[in-house]
Each structure stands twice: as structure tokens, then as C-alpha cells.
């Protein structure tokens, strides 16, 4: 169901569960094992999450399995989905999702748990269609979508269940980069590789500052920022950053 590869400071998780990367409880059990391994790897700074299936990033829950399950079984699967998304969003690693196929329901919730979303301009659908099944998102889709695009866009997407394309996703800020289909996969890998060369402690501190600070008053946010930056002044990476600037060379962060 998954392929994992490590290239220097970059970890790559490839979803590979035909036909649509639809998930069930076994999917999340395997996913959790990979995420735990990544979290314990001190070398990895950035993780790229992508799909091996051309038409899909992830279609969310397997509807046939969901329909057959008991309420208790579905609650267990939703709990695991939430646990997985929380592990990604709370990790010290920077997670980058590359969307190059249909990204629907729990698939979009998974992408929204990532820190950065890259997309190709290939024709595919992005959305949270749960309302069309008489349900609503339950794996963090609503709050994370609000964080990504704002309340107005998020509300309309969720209450209508209507999908958007990648160009619209880029326009409203759901996708941070939009690449041409022909070169998108290569460009996404280049982006993630370059990001992984950055200072891990600083990037982790930035991620934590945004996670804890957004929604606070400006004064509390400023206080948090000051506290976080103070933890970085005496690090190897900060010293290397200054030294490399003075010497006019590329920094080699720890």
C-alpha cells in the first residue's frame, strides 16, 4: 500500500493502493508504522507525500468498506484517520503533499494536514464531497481547510460538496505551487529536495510557531515568536548561516 524512500534529508512516502488509494483500517495501521519510523529518523527534515496511481492522489475512505462496517468499526477507522493527520500536522518534519490526481474526502483531509501542497495543472478534482453521502468531514477537514483558504471558501466547498480543479485550488491558496503537468513531478521533487536542505531546527520552530500562534492576539503571537527565536540563536545552524553569508557560500546546515 505504501512505498518509502529516503534520499539524504528527504523522506518520500508514495501511496500505492489500487485503484484509488482509498483507505481502510489496514491502510492507516501501515501508515502509522511509516510515520513513526520517520519521526524517529533524525536525518529527515522534509517528507514528500505523493501517489503512484496516475488518476488519484487519494479518494478518501473506501465507500464499500465504510458501508459494510458497523458504526463501531467506522468510528475506529475515523479515529485512526484523525490520529494519522494529527501525527503529520504535529510532526517536527515539514510535510509536502504533491497532488497530481483526484484528491477527495479523506484524501484532501490528508493533504490539508500537510504543511505545503504542490499541484500539477492536470485535470483532476479536489474536494470534500461527504455531504453528498449525508455526512460531513470528520478527519480535520473543516478546520484545516479553513486554515488554508479561509472560512468563506471552506464553507462553500464543504456545504455544497462540489469539487474544484487544481487551478482554482492554487487561486484560493489551497495549493501553494502549480506546475505544468509534463514537468510537475520533477519540479515537486526538486522543491522538496531543496527545502530539505534547510535548517531543521529553525523549520521545526517555524512550524510550531504557526501552529501555536495563529488565532492568538498579536501581542501573544509576538511573545511566542520571541520565545521561539531565542531557542535558535546559539545553534550550529544559526552560526553556519551567518558564517556562510559572510563567506558568500551556500550554508551546510546540521
Q: What is the mean pLDDT of each run of 10 residues along the chain (254 residues)?
A: 96 97 93 97 97 97 87 90 96 98 97 98 97 93 96 98 98 98 98 97 96 95 96 92 88 87
Q: Where are the domains of the chain?
A: 2-196, 200-247
> Tell me, what's the pLDDT at 62?
87
Predicted local distance difference test score (pLDDT) of residue 254: 83
What is the predicted pLDDT for the residue at 67? 84
* Cα separation values, 125 from 60, 66, 153, Å: 13, 21, 16
Residue 65: what pLDDT? 87
Residue 66 pLDDT: 81
pLDDT of residue 190: 98
CATH topology of domain 2-196: 2-enoyl-CoA Hydratase; Chain A, domain 1 (3.90.226)
Own/partner contacts of 137-140, CB < 8 Å, gap of 24 or more, are 137/105, 137/109, 138/78, 138/81, 138/82, 139/78, 139/81, 139/82, 139/85, 139/106, 139/109, 139/110, 140/82, 140/85, 140/86, 140/89, 140/109, 140/112, 140/113
Can you give the pLDDT at residue 179?
A: 98
Amino acid at each position: 500500500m505504501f512505498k518509502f524512500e529516503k534520499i539524504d534529508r528527504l523522506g518520500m512516502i508514495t501511496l500505492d493502493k489500487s485503484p484509488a488509494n482509498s483507505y481502510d483500517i489496514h491502510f492507516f495501521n501501515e501508515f502509522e508504522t511509516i510515520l513513526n519510523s520517520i519521526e524517529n529518523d533524525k536525518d529527515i527534515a522534509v517528507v514528500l507525500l505523493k501517489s503512484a496511481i496516475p488518476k488519484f492522489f487519494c479518494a478518501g475512505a473506501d465507500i464499500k468498506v465504510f458501508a459494510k462496517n458497523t458504526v463501531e468499526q467506522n468510528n475506529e477507522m475515523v479515529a485512526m484517520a484523525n490520529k494519522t493527520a494529527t501525527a503529520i500536522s504535529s510532526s517536527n518534519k515539514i510535510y509536502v503533499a504533491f497532488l497530481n490526481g483526484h484528491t477527495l474526502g479523506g484524501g484532501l483531509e490528508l493533504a490539508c494536514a500537510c504543511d505545503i501542497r504542490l499541484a500539477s495543472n492536470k485535470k483532476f478534482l479536489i474536494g470534500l464531497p461527504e455531504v453528498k453521502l449525508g455526512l460531513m468531514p470528520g478527519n480535520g477537514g473543516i478546520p484545516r481547510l479553513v486554515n488554508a483558504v479561509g472560512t468563506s471558501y471552506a464553507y462553500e466547498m464543504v456545504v455544497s460538496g462540489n469539487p474544484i480543479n487544481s487551478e482554482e485550488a492554487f487561486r484560493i491558496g489551497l495549493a501553494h505551487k502549480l506546475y505544468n503537468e509534463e514537468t510537475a513531478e520533477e519540479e515537486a521533487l526538486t522543491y522538496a529536495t531543496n527545502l530539505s536542505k534547510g535548517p531543521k531546527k529553525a523549520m521545526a520552530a517555524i512550524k510550531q510557531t504557526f501552529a501555536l500562534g495563529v488565532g492568538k492576539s498579536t501581542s501573544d503571537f509576538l511573545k511566542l515568536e520571541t520565545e521561539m527565536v531565542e531557542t535558535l540563536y546559539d545553534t550550529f545552524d544559526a552560526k553556519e548561516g551567518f558564517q556562510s553569508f559572510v563567506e558568500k557560500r551556500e550554508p551546510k546546515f546540521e
